[in-house]
Structure 1
Amino acid sequence: MRYDWFYRSGYGPPQKGEHSNIRRDVIAASAVREKDRYVGVVLGFNTKILEEAQKESQERNVKIINDRIIYNLVRSYTDWIKFQKEHEDSILFNELAPVCKFQFLKGFIFRRNDPAVFGAEVLVGKLRQKVRVINDGGKKIGVIHQVQENGKSIEEATKGMQIAVSIRGPVIGRQINEGDVFYTDLNSKEAKMLLERFKVRLNPEEEDVFGKILLLKRNEDAAFGYL
């Protein structure tokens, strides 16, 4: 099998499996996988995959792609890479603090401090537990302790949802008040990743809010989001 195409496309070469000894190729690919998981793959062109090779691939977590038609083999490999990278990106993106804007609803004070609990509406983006919060002046307010809907804790609240929020840190009537608007607080590394890699995942409203957060943070640190 020739691998010129993989070189031109920046993918290759993967570990080949042209002959019957796929198990040996799996072992070789597992070593390559430690350096580059997208290259540590076995491609079998019209090859019979024996049970011992399948078992070896499962134990070593090595992908085997086999097909009788070379075009399908190449397409399956590139499709697999695309899926893996998209999945990897989704996991990484979801680990970042979400871009969110929410508002303290007037008339919905449930507890003034330790933690402060109040009604809120998500105006843009998603609000999750354990994220840091700043006000519309960029001042740090605290950390979201819990988000509840109809008395039940939820992992995430989305745009338009009216929920109960508890925040550790502020006292209602001092640091925060009814009607206040808040934003999720990103750190510089998270902002940099959003700018360079994940901005395409934000919708237009989230992009605007992200821009507002950047402005607030850069008022304090001009290098925010660059380093």
Structure 2
Amino acid sequence: VIEASLTKKEDRFLAAIIAFNVKVTEEARELAREYGVPVFEGNIIYRVVEDFAKWYHEMHEREKRQTLEKLILPGAIRILPGYVFRRSNPVIVGVEVLEGRIRRGVPLMREDGRKIGEIMQIQEHGKPLNEAEKGMAVAISIRGKVMVGRQIDEGDVLYVDVPLDHIDILLSKFKEDLSEGEVELLKKIRRIKIKMRS
């Protein structure tokens, strides 16, 4: 148990005890619980290994989901002509999600990299949503110092302002979870942000 708990510092997903065809004492079980080390036991080896593999996969997936929830994901939207419901304070417009996804609370920028505000709300047919994906047409409200007709116009394409460190993490650790379009969009957003810096 102590050895498994030490392994946890290096790779917490390998910190487990596989007990095949042996009895785990109550003392060892209690110690494992105390150190947060799972115990997989049984008399049929492939079942014990299957249980461990299932746990291992579930833990990886949960960690991946938790990390992804903290990251700002890429998205591109187009302001639909004729669907400006409010020009400022906050701006309320109809948009089409061209690529990726948009979430409440994410910052938006123009194609030149200028920040325009943050998505406050997303609605589809009057129902609030937390997220909208590629292909959806929704209404959004944007909080910020922005006005339709000045900083943005009908037909404009806006991008989720993904921080550069989030782009690096997404492309290095989560590329296989993104569509080809989302990967290309991340690269485009990176180019916009780098150009804006120079």
Give the TM interval when normalised to the shorter protein: 0.7 to 0.9
Corresponding residue for residue 218 of structure 1:
194
- 1:63, CA displacement in angstroms? 1.2
For 1:43-81, what per-residue CA distance to the aligned partner results, in whole angstroms no more than 9, with x for missing partners? Answer: 211234567766665565431111223344344434432
- 1:128, CA displacement in angstroms? 0.3
Alignment of 1:21-60 (within 5 A): 25=1, 29-30=4-5, 33=8, 36-49=11-24
Greater relative CO (CA pairs within 8 A, separation 6+): 2
For the Cα contact (< 8 Å) 2:164–2:190, is it kept in 1? no
DSSP-derived class of the 2:174 partner: helix
For 1:83-138, what per-residue CA distance to the aligned partner results, in whole angstroms no more than 9, with x for missing partners? Answer: 32232112212321121111101111111112111111111111100101111222
For 1:153-190, what per-residue CA distance to the aligned partner results, in whole angstroms no more than 9, with x for missing partners? Answer: 21111122111111111111111111110111111110
**Match for residue 179 of structure 2 among 203, 210, 213:** 203
- 1:193, CA displacement in angstroms? 0.2
**Match for residue 73 of structure 2 among 89, 93, 98:** 98
With normalisation by structure 1, the TM-score equals 0.76
With normalisation by structure 2, the TM-score equals 0.86
Find the structure with the greater CA-based Rg. 1
Say whether 1:87 aligns with 2:62: yes
Q: Which amino acid aligns with 1:37?
A: R
RMSD of aligned C-alpha atoms?
A: 2.4
- Distance of 2:49 and 2:137 partners within structure 1: 49
Identity across the alignment (%): 37
Corresponding residue for residue 165 of structure 2:
189
- 1:208, CA displacement in angstroms? 2.2
DSSP-derived class of the 1:160 partner: coil
Q: Could you tell me which runs of 5 or more consecutive residues in structure 1 were left unpaired when the two chains were aligned.
A: 1-24, 223-227
Corresponding residue for residue 153 of structure 2:
177
Q: Could you tell me which runs of 5 or more consecutive residues in structure 2 were left unpaired when the two chains were aligned.
A: none
